[in-house]
């Protein structure tokens, strides 16, 4: 039975907290449907990724820092953020929700392929929109400027 992800900005996903290890994730979410290792030779970083496709999220563990959870990417349409089904919100509604919870919009960027990114640096949150619809959220506990984040599509 699929899980409804609940985002806790700067803390984690559901009961899994940033800084926990893959075995903790398996205790809560079960065995992932797929795993992979991502290497960034430029920044000399490696992430172990656990994909839970059925539940609509992926967990990124920093292999260079004791394999602890450092990034979560979510695309489950039922995801909850601040008690709201976040994927049902329009862009301005999402901005307003974050602002009402103390996080202001830091940056926006439109990619050449049409995707738009909204960043809320103080929340460690990036929101991706295509054709006006929220498609993916990625969030962490760290300053997004100090860590390059690679997310496969």
pLDDT tens digits, 95-108: 999 999 999 999 99
Q: Within 10 Å of residue 36's Cβ, how many Cβ atoms?
A: 12
- Alpha carbon 146 to chain centroid distance? 16
Q: Is residue 151 part of a domain?
A: no
**pLDDT tier for residue 112 given thresholds of 50, 70 and 90:** confident
| Contact status, residue 125 vs residue 102, Cβ threshold 8 Å | no
Distance CA 87, CA 107 (A): 20
In a domain, 150, yes or no: no
pLDDT reported for residue 148:
44
Domain annotation covers residue 153: no
- For 30-62, what is each residue's pLDDT tens digit? 999 999 999 888 878 889 999 999 999 999 999
Domain count of the fold of the chain: 1
Helix (H, G, I), strand (E, B) or coil at 84: strand
Q: What number of CA atoms fall less than 13 Å from residue 129's CA on the CB side?
A: 19
Instruction: Output the pTM of the full model.
Output: 0.87
For residue 63, what are the domain limits? Answer: 6-140
Contacts 24+ apart (CB under 8 A), 138-144: 138/71, 138/72, 138/73, 138/74, 139/7, 139/9, 139/10, 139/71, 139/72, 139/74, 140/18, 140/70, 140/71, 140/72, 141/10, 141/11, 141/12, 141/18, 141/19, 141/70, 142/70, 144/119
Give the model's confidence band at 152: pLDDT under 50 very low, under 70 low, under 90 confident, else very high: very low
Position 18 scores a pLDDT of: 95
149 pLDDT above the threshold of 70: no
pLDDT at residue 65 above 90?
Answer: no
Q: Enter the DSSP assignment of 20.
A: -
């Amino acid at each position: 039975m699929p899980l409804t992800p609940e985002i806790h900005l700067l803390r984690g996903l559901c009961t899994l907290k940033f800084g926990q290890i893959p075995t903790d994730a398996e205790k809560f979410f079960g065995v992932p449907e797929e795993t992979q290792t991502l290497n960034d030779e430029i920044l000399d970083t490696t992430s172990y990724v656990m994909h839970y496709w059925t539940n609509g999220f992926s967990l990124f563990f920093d292999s260079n820092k004791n394999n602890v959870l450092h990034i979560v990417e979510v695309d489950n349409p039922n995801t909850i953020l601040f008690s709201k089904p976040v994927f049902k919100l329009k862009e301005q509604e999402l901005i307003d929700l974050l602002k009402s919870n103390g996080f202001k919009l830091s940056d926006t960027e439109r990619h050449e392929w049409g995707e738009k990114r909204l960043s809320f640096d103080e929340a460690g949150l990036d929101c991706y929109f295509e054709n006006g619809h929220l498609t993916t959220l990625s969030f962490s506990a760290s300053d997004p400027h100090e860590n390059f984040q690679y997310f496969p599509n």
